[in-house]
């Protein structure tokens, strides 16, 4: 079946997203024991903060300790688990995420107040499962494939297990003293991506198996190039923490 399908024109500039549903069950906790580091021998021990957070890396817990009046160290663990959909280059994808994120960050407070500059490392585990919605004809490799021909198309999007993090934020948990408050992070993980797609089932005419394999390889390369052209994973998080 060769032809064009209205609504499946490949346009890299136009896509729509239905966001991930936030995890609604167990939130993993991070328990941290940190030795204080002081810029000078006479500095007092910094306050400890414990809290819960949620955002684009999922939901979880964090702990931190002050390193004097203008710095603090934080570690957090979050779990991203949920499903969503995205139309990418004219193809409808279903996305199922099951990932864990651990971050170790140094926060600097240049003015001594709540505003902070953050840098450190983000550790990720797990992948994003993806599937092209093939209930309607889809265009791959310049050819339109019927649902009966292509069968199911599934795969994964993988990320670097360790990557740098850079960001800014506001520490509302009573900085530099104590108290309960909301804090925010706005940052990026400098990330590279790997995409793998495969088809399962379907009934292809003789000699078309390799053509479909080549078409899927081309789609892998296109999505991978788009993601690596951006080269980041966005981080937006809100936490409720108690500084003691």
Instruction: Report how many domains make up the chain.
Output: 1
Copy the structure tokens of residue 57. 């890396």
Q: Compute the residue count for the chain.
A: 244
Provide the sign of the torsion angle of the four alpha carbons 13, 136, 216, 80, taken in this order: positive
- Domain assignment present for 2: no
CATH code, domain carrying 204? 2.40.160.170
- Distance, CA of 95 to CA of 168 (rounded, Å): 29
Residue range(s) defining the domain that contains residue 81: 16-243
- Domain assignment present for 11: no
What local confidence, expressed as pLDDT, does residue 142 receive? Answer: 86
**Token match 């204080």: residue?**
36
DSSP state of 114: S
pTM above 0.85, yes or no: no
What local confidence, expressed as pLDDT, does residue 141 receive? Answer: 86
Helix and strand totals (H; E) in the chain: 2, 13
Integer CA distances (angstroms), 93 to 16, 39, 129, 152, 230, in order: 10, 51, 10, 12, 19
- Domain assignment present for 7: no
- Domain assignment present for 1: no
- Domain assignment present for 5: no
| 240 CA to centre of own chain | 21
Residue ranges of the chain whose pLDDT lies below 70: 1-46, 173-178
Give residue-wise pLDDT tens across range 36-65. 333 333 334 357 889 999 999 999 999 999
Provide the sign of the torsion angle of the four alpha carbons 74, 79, 84, 88, taken in this order: positive
Element (H or E) spanning 145, and its range? strand 143-145
- Domain assignment present for 3: no
What local confidence, expressed as pLDDT, does residue 174 receive? Answer: 56
Paired strand residues for 161 = none
> In which region does residue 82 sit, left (phi positive, over 0), alpha (psi from -120 to 50) or beta (all else)?
left
- Distance, CA of 67 to CA of 69 (rounded, Å): 7
Give residue-wise pLDDT tens across range 202-222. 887 777 888 888 999 999 999
- Distance, CA of 204 to CA of 151 (rounded, Å): 9
Element (H or E) spanning 227, and its range? helix 209-230
What would the 3-class secondary structure string for 1-50 be? CCCCCCCCCCCCCCCEEECCCCCCCCCCCCCCCCCCCCCCCCCCCCCEEE
Nearest Cα residue to 78 out of 93, 96, 61, 65: 61
- Domain assignment present for 50: yes
What local confidence, expressed as pLDDT, does residue 110 receive? Answer: 92
């Amino acid at each position: 079946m060769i032809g064009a399908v209205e609504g499946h024109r490949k346009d890299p500039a136009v896509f729509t997203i239905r966001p991930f549903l936030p995890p609604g069950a167990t939130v993993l906790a991070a328990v941290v024991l940190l030795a204080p580091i002081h810029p000078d021998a006479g500095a007092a021990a910094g306050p400890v903060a414990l809290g819960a957070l949620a955002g684009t890396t999922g939901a979880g817990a964090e702990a931190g300790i002050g390193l004097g009046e203008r710095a603090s160290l934080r570690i957090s663990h979050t779990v991203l688990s949920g499903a969503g959909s995205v139309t990418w280059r004219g193809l409808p994808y279903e996305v199922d995420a099951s990932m864990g994120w651990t971050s170790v960050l140094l926060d600097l407070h240049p003015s001594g107040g709540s505003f902070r500059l953050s840098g450190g490392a983000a550790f990720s585990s797990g992948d994003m499962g993806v599937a092209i919605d093939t209930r309607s004809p889809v265009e791959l490799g310049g050819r339109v494939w019927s649902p009966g021909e292509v069968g199911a198309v599934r795969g994964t999007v993988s990320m670097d297990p360790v990557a740098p993090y850079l960001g800014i934020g506001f520490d509302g948990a009573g900085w530099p003293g104590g108290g309960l408050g909301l804090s925010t992070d706005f940052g990026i993980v400098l990330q590279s991506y790997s995409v793998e797609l495969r088809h399962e089932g379907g009934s292809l005419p003789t000699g078309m198996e390799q053509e479909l394999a080549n078409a899927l390889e081309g789609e892998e390369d296109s999505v991978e190039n788009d993601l690596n052209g951006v080269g980041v994973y966005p981080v937006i998080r809100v936490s409720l923490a108690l500084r003691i």
